[in-house]
Amino acid sequence: MFPEEEEEEEEEGQEQQEESERTEAQVEEPKTAPPPAPAASPPAWPAATGAVKERLSGTKLAEWLRRRVFQLRVPLAMGHAELLEVLQSLDDEKLQPPFEEAKLWLGLDESEAMPPALAQLITDFRDVRSRS
């Protein structure tokens, strides 16, 4: 073999070794997945925190109810207008747990548990309506 060929072979060997070291370094670094996002919860409504100082009624109350149903993802067996009529027809005492009369008006059985989102909606509605 000629000395030039030996040098070329040594250079090729060094290049291959450097390349394998780079590949190993890349493989050794484990890629970690980003931490899971926190579970999304419905945003707190101002009435629950006491931020609403005025009493809602009429169109504003209907808009509030429609928005809050969406925020809480309340499963309804009736339309928003009908729900508003039912809630407005009940006084504040009947809009408190265990919601027995409210359940009957909403088509639920007295013995079955009220969905948590619906219970939260009724409680928020009572609070918003009673603000003065």
Q: Pick the range with the lowest mean pLDDT from 4-8, 24-28, 98-102, 117-121.
A: 24-28
Closest CA to 68 of 102, 42, 86: 42
Q: What is the pLDDT of residue 18?
A: 73
> With 50 as the cut, is the pLDDT of residue 27 above it?
yes
The pLDDT tens digits of the residues spanning 69-124 come to: 999 999 888 999 999 999 999 999 999 998 999 999 988 888 888 999 999 999 99
Rounded Cα distance between 75 and 53, Å, is: 28
Rounded Cα distance between 61 and 125, Å, is: 9
Average pLDDT over residues 24-53: 51
Do 79 and 14 share a domain, yes or no? Answer: no
Do 66 and 122 share a domain, yes or no? Answer: yes
Q: Which residue has the tokens 């009947």?
A: 94
Q: Which residue has the tokens 């070329």?
A: 8
Rounded Cα distance between 89 and 31, Å, is: 59
**What total of structural domains would you count in the chain?**
2
> Mean pLDDT of all residues in the chain?
77
Do 61 and 119 share a domain, yes or no? Answer: yes
Do 64 and 13 share a domain, yes or no? Answer: no
Do 21 and 63 share a domain, yes or no? Answer: no
